[in-house]
Amino acid sequence: PIVRASAKTGLSSSGRLHDLFVTVESMTPGQFKSIQTGSGQKISINYSSAQTPYGHVVLASTSKGLAHLTFIDDQSMALPRLKEYLPYAHFTHHQDDFQKNAVKLFFHLHKGVHFKNAPLHLHLKGTPFQIKVWESLLTIPSGLLETYGGIATAIGRPNAYRAVGTAVGKNPLSFIIPCHRIIQSSGVLGNYMWGPERKKIMIAHEAAKNELKNQA
């Protein structure tokens, strides 16, 4: 069975997810409202793009942490895509340390290198239930898979597997929050927002890397 860390703010993975300390903070109701309706002071967002082993990504962060990461094929759509997710934020094209650490994480995990002493701060827009689901996803070790029902049980809501599926589908941080490690109870890989082939490649690569570690 998968060994889980407690799903709470400031969790640290008990598996071999990234060997780093992850802090998760949700946006306040005021911040959430301002970026949804335009009321109040606009939240400031830095954004940039980068190439990763699994494709091109666009990243966005607040002053408190990484807020959004998505794969994108057409780079000209980077800012429009972000404005769909954070419609009333103020955007500045700038790669800050939160984004740099996230990009480094892609390459360190791809090479099987531990990524120590570099906390990854996440600042997420979501409901309390969604945040709890995303935190639970962070505890799935690289190379292992979990089901929607398994996540539902882990967060103390065993009958909420459909709601878990919806929350997984709204994951704002591709790969960083590893929703690609979620499969159906039948063993079918299921859908993936960023393409089923990309999901297959991620799972296969992590499984192969994990097998090599076990043989070492």
Task: Give me the half-sphere count of Cα atoms (radius 13 Å) on the Cβ side of residue 183.
Answer: 14
Which of these, 24, 26, 52, 95, lies nearest to 194 by C-alpha position? 52
**Cβ atoms 125, 131 nearer than 8 A:** no
Residues 78, 175: Cα–Cα separation, whole Å: 17
Q: How far is CA 187 from the centre of its chain?
A: 22
Which of these, 13, 14, 19, 11, lies nearest to 113 by C-alpha position? 19
Instruction: Select which of 78, 124, 179, 182 is catalytic.
Output: 179
To the query of whether residue 8 is one of the catalytic residues in this protein, the response is: no
Which of these, 153, 133, 148, 154, lies nearest to 186 by C-alpha position? 148
- Burial class for 39, CB neighbours closer than 10 Å (0-12, 13-18, 19+): exposed
Helix (H) or strand (E) holding 48: strand 44-52
Catalytic residues: 179
